[in-house]
Every structure is written in C-alpha cells, then in structure tokens.
Amino acid sequence: MAEPTPPPRATEARKSRHLDICLEDDVASQLDAGFGRVRLRHEALPECALEDVEGATTFLGRRLSAPLVISSMTGGTERARDINRNLAAAAERFGVALALGSQKAAIENPALLATYLVRDVAPTLMLFANLGAVSLNYGVSVDDARRAIDAIGANGLYLHLNPLQEALQPNGDTDFRALLPKIAALCRSIDVPVIAKSVGSGIAVRTAARLLEAGVSAIDVAGAGGTSWARVEGRRSGDPRHEALAETFAGWGYPTAEATRALRAAFPSIPLVASGGVRTGVDVAKALALGADIAGIGLPLLEPATRSSEAVAEALGQIVAGLRIAMFASGCRGTSDLPAALYRGSDAIETTEPST
C-alpha cells in the first residue's frame, strides 16, 4: 500500500529548499552532458547573411520563434510566484515555451495555485502543466490532472518520471508499480499532449517505447549533465550519511547528448526535447543536430528569474544569439538544416579534384 503523502506545508517547505540548494550549492551531475564531444561543421563560406538565419520551428503544432522550452523548475512555494511570472514574461517576449514545476503542491493546497498563474503576463505563451507520474499512485486522479491543466491555461502536460529522486527524498513516493496503465488512461482522457520526461537521468529507448505505446505525444530526454536531483536531495536531508549515499549517484544516468542521439535513431519522427546540461546557444544547436526538435534549458535562467523578467530576457537573448551564430557559422539557414551540419572527422580534409 502506498504511504501517505506529506502534509501540504512540508511540500511547500521542500519546494523552497530546492530553490535555495539550486541557487547556492554545486549540485551538478558528475556526468558531462556530452555536448563538448559534439562538433558542428564550420562553414567558412555560408552563402547567406546572418539576418537570413531563421530559428523558428513548430513543436506539437505550435509555432515557436526559437526552438526552446524553459524547463520545469518551480512552483508550490510563495517565492516561486515571481520566478514563474518572470520566466513567463520573458518566454512570451521571445516566443519560446515554458514548463512549470510540479503542480502537486497546488493539488494538496489550492492556496498555492497562485504560484503557477502566469497567463496574465504571457497570454500567447506555449505553456505546459507538470505532474509527477508516480503521483497517479498516490491519490492524484485524471480529474486532478485535468483541473491542473485548466487552472493555468496550459497547452500540454509534462509528466515527469523521477524514481531516483523519490528514493533519495525523505518520505519519497517510491511505489512505481502498475504505473504505465495509469499513464495510458491519463493520455486517453485529456485533450492536450502529454510529454514524458526524466529528471536528470535520461530515458532509455526501451522505456520511451513503452511510454509512446501508452500514448504520450513526446519525450523529453532530461538527461544527465545538468542538475543532479540525487545530489539536491542529499543536500536537503541535512544528514551527512544520507548525503554521502546520495553522492554515490552523482554520476547516474544517460548523458543528454547520448540519450538524444539514441532516441532519435530509434524513433525518427517523434517530437523530441533535449534537456539536461544545456547551457548555451551552441549547446542548443548541437542538441538539434543530434535530432532534438527543441532544447530545454533551466538552471541558467533560475538566478535571473529571481531578479526580473528583464534579467531573464537578457539571458535568453544571449542563448538565442548564440544559436543563430552557430547556425550561420555552420551554413544552416533553418533549424532543420542542423542534423546535416554534424561534424565528422573527414569533413575538414575532404578533397575534390582541381578543375583543369
């Protein structure tokens, strides 16, 4: 039998402590996301102008001005309200998507719903609700999910899968038994796309196949190389022995670049998001070259979001500018050109017969 969920105030305190740890501590995965080992071809004669480069794309039927989603970060604690609104306002300005943090806190305590409400500052934003998949084994119903989507005016639902984090979280929700049929029932019962994502450990090809069979519309690899939620939970525990245990999982999971390449090879046409350790516009370009449709970025925008929407917009502007320059310097006019720009060792030494 599933253990009872913690009281609402405990959930709110946990969410606030997560923010402190991510802002103040080094809780990065000890695995590299893998983008440093990915190279794009340099094209010295791109035959276009920088202004010709177009970063817009379509994802799940919605046009984005740049192939980015601000990855799920927070909600459910009072200080998250301004963070989410700053993220949303900047995302609206740049025409990128936003996924909110888990809304379980607002299901437990409706007074916390305000920490997720952003539509008034981002009326046209592609916005994703978010729930932990395992919550379906702990009393969260399809109706709860539908209300969570409707309450924030979401265009889709992120369903995150975090067994490692839950196992290291005091009183974590660790009963993942018979969860796939509940995911399938949820996908059949709601009117918006469901994106399944990991939480910093990646998704294997065989797991993605089961999720797609269950009816999810897209996969976010959320691979290793960014924030390690195992390390976050270790720090949050305040227990040196538990933190030492969590540290043994600091290098757990599939690096984002590796997971992205494998999932695209296995599923050539699914909507695919690459997140986990994406830090720059060059990383975004590499993620798309590996087969992602869009890239997710989180931690680099958290600290700016504690200050203002303008600070988030400045950081986003740097990422988008870096992406466009990477595309230009590799001879890509559009994001769909990037897979052909992957560098292979022979590229720099290819020769042609001189003309006579």
Q: What is the per-residue pLDDT across 257-285, written as a single tens digit (0 to 9) for each?
A: 999 999 999 999 999 999 999 999 999 99
Q: Average pLDDT, stretch 126-154?
A: 97
CA distance 202 to 185: 24
Q: Which residues contact 45 (CB under 8 A, 6 or more apart)?
A: 331
Q: Each residue of 62-101: pLDDT tens digit?
A: 999 999 999 988 888 888 999 999 999 999 999 999 999 9
Q: Which amino acid is at 270?
A: I
Whether 260 and 197 have beta carbons less than 8 Å apart is answered as: no
Q: Kindly give the residue spans of alpha helices, DSSP state H, lying in the chain.
A: 8-24, 80-94, 104-108, 142-152, 163-168, 180-189, 205-214, 229-237, 240-247, 256-266, 281-289, 299-305, 309-329
Q: Among residues of the chain, what percentage have pLDDT more than 90?
A: 81
pLDDT in tens, 165-223: 999 998 899 999 999 999 999 999 999 999 999 999 999 999 999 999 999 999 999 99
- The pair of structure tokens assigned to 13 is 């305190």
Domain boundary assignment for the chain: 8-36+64-313
pLDDT at 40 over 60: yes
Task: Give residue 140's region: left, alpha or beta (phi > 0; psi -120 to 50).
Answer: beta
* Residue 7 confidence (pLDDT): 56
Show the tokens assigned to 7. 């009281």
| Superfamily in which the 8-36+64-313 domain is placed by CATH | Aldolase class I (3.20.20.70)
pLDDT band at 8 (very low <50, low <70, confident <90, very high): low
Q: How buried is 244 (Cβ within 10 angstroms: 0-12 exposed, 13-18 middle, 19+ buried)?
A: exposed
**Above 60 in pLDDT, residue 354?**
no
List pLDDT tens digits, range 282-294. 999 999 999 999 9
User: Which amino acid, residue 174?
Assistant: T
| Residue given tokens 């994802």 in the structure block | 59
Q: What is the pLDDT of residue 234?
A: 83
Separation of alpha carbons 26 and 64, rounded Å? 32
Q: What is the mean pLDDT of the chain?
A: 92
